[in-house]
């Protein structure tokens, strides 16, 4: 309570008289920061826009509110940790990410702003939320992902298992609900989580919507996306998950599965087979080094010349600053997935054969790119090894991140301040 009184006192000194009512709108204290009702309502509106699903009842709205508040609490904890570690995202990096986001949606930055604001999303708030997400991603990379190692033995076992068991060449499209347990859970806490997971399973069997229950009840990082995990390779999932999924038909849900994080429910949305092949891309590009507007404008002019009939290869030889491809007319040859940096690869994946991209930025400078053709090829041993390393690493990071998020949440000072029926604020014990 002393900590609460001190923070409220500081806020009362900092706010003008006409804003005193904001004190009644503080709904959570998270270590050295607070969450206000205004912040929560803004985030709920943004999430509702992203979900594009109507809230059917007051109970559904309250469940969504709890989920959004819990995510905001975890974000506050991580942002404070990042601040102490000196992790920042400067405006240049943020602008580059927003520019790339716009181009991936085939929009200019101004068109992206207009689209968001048309849908009721304040662009400056969206910009700062994007900055915060990038900070959190860097924090997780430093404290969790960077400590994950994948050994050659694990890679070899992964590949051998793939070759030995044909059923492992399967990808699953999944939805997920996690009922978490504390790191040092008592037997009664484990039993309570087990019973809750079983009750949710029975609701789903009776026809309840899995995605809605995920939004309401899941402690998983994808809860606000309806628990959607996207496509996962069998070998990128824990073996006990896969053993259960093999017995399901599309649309069915597993019984609760126990792990160190808690109890999991998985819904099988779809499956596909992997045939040990990859899609290779043959592309060419023109690079202008630098990160200023002049580089982008120069490439925009070059693209216009190509659209007017000028030869891409000749223009690459004349203008490109990539010494490795310039003399070949910008030709990059055939490339496996993952060959290029993410900024380059993400644009390449969006282009049709023959299409020339808008100018886009990577760590090397500004580019325009043309995809010449694509082909399906048997994956080489090197490619299989790279894929194995990526999938094993992702599986390990996912599990470690779940455990780490639970740990920092349990260790943080969090105090929820709900409103009473009379409109006064009360305090709940720190959790």
Residue 429's pLDDT band (cuts 50, 70, 90): very low
What's 344's domain CATH number?
3.10.50.40
Residue 45's pLDDT band (cuts 50, 70, 90): confident
User: 11 is written with which tokens?
Assistant: 């806020």
User: Which H or E run includes 165?
Assistant: none
Residue 10's pLDDT band (cuts 50, 70, 90): very low
Average pLDDT, the chain: 83
Please check the confidence at residue 6 and state whether its pLDDT lies above 60: no
Residue 423's pLDDT band (cuts 50, 70, 90): very low
pLDDT tens-place string over residues 126-141: 999 999 999 999 999 9
For the chain, helix, strand, coil in percent to 5 are 55, 20, 25
Indicate whether 28 belongs to any domain. no
Indicate whether 189 belongs to any domain. no
Domains held by the chain: number: 1
Please check the confidence at residue 300 and state whether its pLDDT lies above 60: yes
Indicate the pTM of the whole model.
Answer: 0.61
Indicate whether 297 belongs to any domain. yes
Indicate whether 65 belongs to any domain. no
Indicate whether 309 belongs to any domain. yes
Residue 5's pLDDT band (cuts 50, 70, 90): very low
pLDDT value, residue 169:
63
pLDDT tens-place string over residues 359-374: 988 888 999 999 999 9
Please provide the DSSP assignment of 221-262 as one string. TTGGGTTEEEEEEGGGS-HHHHHHHTTPPTT-BPPPEEETTE
Indicate whether 147 belongs to any domain. no
Please check the confidence at residue 384 and state whether its pLDDT lies above 80: no
Indicate whether 403 belongs to any domain. no
pLDDT value, residue 54:
66
**Segments forming the whole domain that contains residue 360:** 278-378
Indicate whether 351 belongs to any domain. yes
Mean pLDDT for 72-79 is 95
Mean pLDDT for 18-30 is 64
pLDDT value, residue 167:
46
Cα–Cα distance, 194 to 179 (Å, whole number): 8
């Amino acid at each position: 309570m002393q900590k609460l009184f001190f923070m409220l006192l500081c806020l009362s000194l900092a706010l003008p008289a006409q804003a005193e009512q904001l004190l009644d709108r503080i709904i959570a204290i998270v270590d050295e920061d607070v969450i206000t009702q205004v912040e929560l309502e803004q985030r709920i509106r943004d999430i509702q826009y992203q979900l594009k699903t109507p809230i059917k009842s007051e109970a559904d709205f309250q469940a969504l509110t709890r989920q959004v508040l819990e995510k905001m609490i975890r974000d506050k904890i991580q942002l404070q940790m990042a601040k102490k570690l000196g992790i920042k995202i400067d405006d240049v990096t943020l602008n580059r990410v927003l520019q790339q986001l716009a181009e991936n949606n085939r929009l200019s930055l101004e068109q992206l702003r207009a689209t968001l604001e048309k849908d009721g999303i304040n662009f400056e708030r969206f910009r700062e939320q994007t900055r915060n997400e990038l900070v959190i991603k860097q924090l997780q990379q430093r404290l969790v992902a960077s400590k994950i190692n994948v050994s050659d033995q694990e890679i070899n076992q992964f590949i051998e298992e793939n070759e030995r068991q044909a059923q492992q060449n399967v990808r699953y499209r999944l939805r997920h609900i996690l009922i978490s347990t504390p790191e040092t859970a008592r037997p009664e806490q484990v039993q309570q989580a087990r019973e809750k997971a079983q009750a949710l399973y029975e609701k789903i069997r009776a026809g309840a919507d899995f995605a809605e229950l995920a939004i309401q009840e899941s402690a998983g990082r994808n809860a606000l996306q309806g628990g959607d995990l996207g496509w996962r390779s069998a070998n990128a999932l824990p073996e006990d998950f896969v053993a259960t999924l093999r017995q399901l038909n599309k649309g069915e849900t597993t019984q609760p599965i126990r792990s160190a994080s808690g109890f999991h429910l998985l819904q099988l949305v779809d499956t596909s087979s992997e045939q040990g092949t990859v899609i290779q891309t043959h592309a060419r590009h023109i690079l202008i080094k630098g990160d200023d507007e002049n580089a982008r404008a120069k490439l925009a002019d070059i693209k216009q010349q190509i659209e007017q009939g000028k030869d891409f290869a000749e223009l690459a030889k004349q203008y490109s600053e990539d010494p490795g491809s310039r003399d070949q007319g910008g030709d990059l040859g055939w490339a496996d997935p993952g060959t290029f940096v993410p900024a380059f690869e993400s644009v390449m994946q969006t282009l049709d054969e023959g299409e020339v991209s808008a100018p886009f930025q990577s760590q090397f400078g500004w580019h325009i790119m043309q995809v010449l053709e694509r082909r399906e090829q048997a994956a080489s041993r090197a490619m299989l090894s790279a894929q194995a390393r990526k999938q094993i690493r992702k599986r390990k990071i996912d599990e470690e991140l779940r455990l780490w998020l639970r740990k920092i949440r349990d260790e943080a000072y969090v105090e929820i301040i709900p409103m009473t029926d009379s409109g006064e604020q009360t305090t709940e014990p720190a959790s």
